[in-house]
Amino acid sequence: MGILERIKDIELEMSRTQKNKATSSHLGALKARLCKLRSELLNPPKAAGSGPGEGFDVVKYGHGRVALIGFPSVGKSTLLSQLTGTESEAAAYEFTTLTCIPGVIHYNDAKIQLLDLPGIIEGASEGKGRGRQVIAVAKSSDLILMVLDACKSEAANSRYAHKDILTRELEAVGLRLNKKPPGIYWKKKKAGGVQLNSTVPGGLTKIDEKTVIRVLQEYKIHHAEVLFREDCDVDQLIDVLEGNRKYVRCLYVYNKVDALTIEEVNTLSRRPDSVCISCYMNLGMDYLLKRVWDAMGLVRVYTKKMGTKPDFEEPVVLSDSRGGIAVKHFCAQLHADLPRQLKYALVWGTSPKHYGQRVGLKHDLEDEDVVQIVKSDRHHYEDGVGRFSTKKRNDPARIQDRQKKEKLKT
């Protein structure tokens, strides 16, 4: 029996099983088994002597990467051409784009890489079409723009809407859209069984100890310490045990809103993480770029030397998803040794409490802050202190050599 048949059998058994307290542990074990099979489906073992797999070889460029995900013929190529100026073939028929086409967005003195990926279809998580290659590139992105056709993507009360299908396909391969990692800590032990602890006020309500033990047994873990810092369910526990989940921000871009009424556009625009645009009429592009900038957490920081005006020409762009936005990350971009040479930094802008505030390495910067670096005079400590010093001296190296010899008794 192949992997797909085993997956269908487990899904059929889960659909036939009633959900109650008596079957919760059994359903949790089935979910863990299903996740393991899907991981094997996406990462099949390579045969001996086989060459490298076929994929999209796109080198990372700029201060962030954004991937365009959507069904065929929803306007991804047209959106890429309007935002970056890169020519991507666009036509009225489906599957016009067959490979990954990169482009660069120049916005707020930053360079953002935009990738136009081929359209995916339902069943992409099982390897249909070029779903595996598309999803692999999406996992390496800092932000996902899910491009949807506003005319047919949101059918009334339809569970087969395009947004739900794409979200289900991405979550089946380990992508978690607009979610945070669950507050679960676990550590494998050699003996002692499974110890379940919780810091949640009122206790756990979505999972019990029996279900936790059954899920751990599916991963062949019989001795472990598990700590729940928040009330989580079985799916979140499985995500922590898998350890390969990618938590990424996602914006839902509704294209072709020029064919809708004003009331329908207002309804779509008020949904969480949603943006309404029209590539045909070039509407909403500036607002889309602003939402992309905010979602990626990009921060521009300007440098200033002592006694001079700030340099507003070339800012240092920091990213919350790539590294961080603290002073130590700002110093590391200037020079690798600068964080340990820093004495303090003077910051002007919106992040300090007052202009010219003296801050340390852990201070988080905000957009358009001005930073002046002050180095510490610690060059005489770099080689160690006292007898731990590595600097060559003329003094004897050993203590007994420095002690005077006693006079001979006569």
Residues 248-299: pLDDT tens digits? 999 999 998 988 889 988 988 899 999 999 998 989 999 999 999 999 999 9
Same domain, yes or no, for 268 and 304?
no
This prediction has a pTM of: 0.77
* Residue 137 domain flag: yes
Lowest model confidence (mean pLDDT) among 68-72, 248-252, 349-353 = 68-72
The total of structural domains in the chain comes to 3
Predicted pLDDT of residue 157: 45
User: Above 60 in pLDDT, residue 396?
Assistant: no
Residue 364 — pLDDT band, cuts 50, 70, 90? very high
Q: Which is more confident, 138 or 211?
A: 211
* Residue 234 domain flag: yes
Same domain, yes or no, for 147 and 268?
yes
* Residue 322 domain flag: yes
Mean pLDDT score of the chain: 81
Q: What percent of the chain has pLDDT over 90?
A: 39
Once rounded to an integer, what is the mean pLDDT over residues 339-355?
93
Q: What is the CATH number of the domain that holds 355?
A: 3.10.20.30
Predicted pLDDT of residue 50: 47
* Residue 391 domain flag: no
User: Above 60 in pLDDT, residue 326?
Assistant: yes
Residue 59 — pLDDT band, cuts 50, 70, 90? confident
Residue 93 — pLDDT band, cuts 50, 70, 90? very low
Residue 95 — pLDDT band, cuts 50, 70, 90? very low
Same domain, yes or no, for 170 and 86?
yes
Same domain, yes or no, for 167 and 260?
yes
User: Above 50 in pLDDT, residue 380?
Assistant: no
Predicted pLDDT of residue 156: 47
Lowest model confidence (mean pLDDT) among 46-50, 318-322, 328-332, 339-343 = 46-50
Same domain, yes or no, for 290 and 200?
no
* Residue 386 domain flag: no
Once rounded to an integer, what is the mean pLDDT over residues 46-72?
71
User: Above 90 in pLDDT, residue 228?
Assistant: yes
User: Above 60 in pLDDT, residue 386?
Assistant: no
User: Above 50 in pLDDT, residue 159?
Assistant: no
Same domain, yes or no, for 159 and 291?
yes
* Residue 146 domain flag: yes
Where a domain ends, among 295, 310, 326? 295
User: Above 90 in pLDDT, residue 362?
Assistant: yes
Same domain, yes or no, for 108 and 168?
yes
Range of the domain at 87: 64-179+246-295
User: Above 80 in pLDDT, residue 49?
Assistant: no
Same domain, yes or no, for 275 and 152?
yes
Q: What is the pLDDT of residues 125-152, one digit of tens each?
A: 666 656 667 777 788 889 999 999 888 7
Same domain, yes or no, for 258 and 217?
no
* Residue 97 domain flag: yes
Same domain, yes or no, for 238 and 278?
no
* Residue 53 domain flag: no
Same domain, yes or no, for 161 and 279?
yes
Same domain, yes or no, for 307 and 281?
no
Predicted pLDDT of residue 285: 93
As a three-state string, the secondary structure of the chain is CCHHHHHHHHHHHHHHCCCCCCCHHHHHHHHHHHHHHHHHHHCCCCCCCCCCCCCCCCCCCECEEEEEEECCCCCHHHHHHHHHCCCCCCCCCCCCCCCCEEEEEEECCEEEEEEECCCCCCCHHHCCCCHHHHHHHHHCCCEEEEEEECCCCCCCCCCCCHHHHHHHHHHHCCEEECCCCCCEEEEECCCCCEEEEECCCCCCCCCCHHHHHHHHHHCCCCCEEEEECCCCCHHHHHHHHHCCCEEEEEEEEEECHHHCCHHHHHHHHCCCCEEECECCCCECHHHHHHHHHHHHCEEEEEECCCCCCCEEEEEEEEECCCEECEHHHHHHHHCCCHHHHEEEEEEECCCCCCCCEEECCCCECCCCEEEEEEECCCHHHCCCCHHHCCCCCCCCCCHHHHCCCCCCCC
User: Above 80 in pLDDT, residue 10?
Assistant: yes
